[in-house]
Amino acid sequence: MIIAKMKPIEEIIDEVKDHKKVLVAGCDGCVTVCEAGGLKEAQILASALRMYFRQAGQDAVVDEISMTRQCDHPYVDAVADTVANYDAVVSMACGAGIQFLAETYRGKPILPGVNTCFIGVTEAKGEWAERCQACGDCLLASTGGICPIARCSKRMSNGPCGGSASGKCEVSKETDCGWHLIYERLKELGQLDRFEKPMDPKDWAKSRDGGPRKIVKEVSQI
């Protein structure tokens, strides 16, 4: 899922400090699972903002809601009446949701309450790690189910690099060397022949490098 992290509160305050009526909009989707922007986090942020305004001697209203999702029209449209009552909205959804709100409520400043970071998994309670870079051309079959684009700091197709040591990446001892993981997995699967076969240059046009992407499934269109 999409993993995000609440923005430093000073940044959020800097954007809302001149508004009088602020709505904090959480999202029940990914940001709830990664504990960055669900109802709980929206309540905490709203409370913090109310206290900020009060100690600054400012008369401001800060309320919180949480939406099922912010990336689908029906849910975004449903809050129209609510949004109309506020000067600004701090959206705690991922970047996609924040933008979708902004596209719908064009006259209202829609401000990001989180930094959207990566596509990842919950490794343990309170710990989320990157797994996918949305490259648009999945090669997991060749690498034992471990992605070198997301898990190698240099997104090498033919790793590891010379800096890989004891299974860790040269960038940080806390980061596993993606290619070390791939090697070990290919060994487990009895597919080490794949390791020695050079992979040709990747087609980055299918990823972000090719420009903003869109998928149309005609059979699903009305």
Partner 1 sequence: MRLSYPTNVRIVKLPCSGRVDIIHIMKALENGADGVYVAGCLEGDCHYQVGNLRAKKRVAYVKEILDKIGVGSDRVAMYNLSAGQGPRFAEIAREFTEIIRKLGPSPLRTAKKKAA
Partner 2 sequence: MSANGTMSRLEKVLKAGHLAVTSECGPPRDCNAHVVEEKARLIGNHVDAINVTDNQTAVVRMCSLASCIRIKQMGFEPVLQMVTRDRNRIAAQADILGAASFGINTMLCLTGDHQSFGDHPNAANVFDLDSTQLLQTVRLMCDEGKLLSGHEMKVKPSMFVGAAENPFADPFEIRVPRLAKKVAAGAQFIQTQCIYNMPKFKQWMQGICDRGLDEKVAILAGLTPMKGVGMAKYMKNRVPGMDVPDEIIKRLQGVPKENQAEEGIKILLEQIEELKTVKGVKGFHIMAIEWEEKVPEIVERAGLYPRPQV
The residues that touch partner 1, with contacts defined as CB under 8 A, are 8-10, 13, 40, 43-44, 47-52, 54-58
Binding mask 27-66 for partner 2 (x = CB under 8 A): ----------------------------------------
Of the residues 201, 211, 215, 218, which one makes contact with partner 2 according to CB under 8 A: 201
Question: Do the beta carbons of residue 25 and residue 89 sit within 8 Å?
Answer: yes
Residues listed for the chain = 222
Binding mask 150-189 for partner 2 (x = CB under 8 A): ---xxxxxxxxxxxxxxx--xx--------x--x------
CA distance 110 to 32: 19
CA distances from 20 to 11, 38, 60, 62 (A): 17, 23, 5, 8
CA distances from 119 to 28, 34, 97, 132, 155 (A): 17, 11, 15, 5, 15
157 contacts which partner out of partner 2, partner 1, none, CB within 5 to 8 A by kind?
A: partner 2
Question: Do the beta carbons of residue 64 and residue 42 sit within 8 Å?
Answer: yes
CB of 125 to partner 1, least distance (A): 11
Of the residues 48, 130, 204, 206, which one makes contact with partner 2 according to CB under 8 A: 204
**Which residue type is seen at 60?**
A
CB of 146 to partner 2, least distance (A): 15
For the chain, report the end-to-end CA distance as a whole number of angstroms. 27
The radius of gyration computed from the CA coordinates of the chain, to the nearest angstrom, equals: 22
170 contacts which partner out of partner 2, partner 1, none, CB within 5 to 8 A by kind?
A: partner 2
**Applying CB under 8 A, which residues contact partner 2?**
153-167, 170-171, 180, 183, 192, 195-202, 204
